[in-house]
Amino acid sequence: MECRVGCAACCIAISISSPIPGMPKGKPAGVRCVQLNENNACKLFGQPERPAVCVSLQASVEMCGNDNEDAYRILTEWERATSPKASIFDQNLTEPAKAPLTRKRCTNT
């Protein structure tokens, strides 16, 4: 599968921990990479400055889905599932925290 022209979901949805020219501390998830041009094409494509993680990404149906919206949704889900802060994403912050479950001891009488 080839990347869809203008998609750039992988350049927006996922976090990149390695330095990127213009983003020396990397890129947080959900933030547009500064190396995307106005057509959502990577300005570093084929250049040695392009981060290894970007070079290693290969478009696939599992990652990109059927259209750009699918790709963004899938990659956002993967990012949340693999983030060290995943538990924050999984919490329903509108409900109060529940007390941890405790085990009752079984006793034979």
Asked if the structure places residue 61 within a domain, the reply is yes
Asked if the structure places residue 3 within a domain, the reply is no
Asked if the structure places residue 97 within a domain, the reply is no
The pLDDT tens digits of the residues spanning 49-96 come to: 999 999 999 999 999 999 999 999 999 999 999 987 654 445 444 444
- Structural domain count of the chain: 1
Lowest average pLDDT, out of 5-19, 25-39, 76-90, goes to 76-90
Asked if the structure places residue 4 within a domain, the reply is no
DSSP string across 17-73: -S-BTTBTT-B-TTS--TTB-TTS-BTTTTSTTS-HHHHH----HHHH-SSHHHHHH
Structure letter (DSSP) for residue 78: H
Asked if the structure places residue 98 within a domain, the reply is no
Asked if the structure places residue 48 within a domain, the reply is yes
Q: State the amino acid at position 89 in one-letter form.
A: F
Q: What are the backbone angles phi and psi of residue 76, rounded to the nearest 5°?
A: -65, -45
Structure letter (DSSP) for residue 16: B
Residue numbers of the domain that contains 28: 9-84
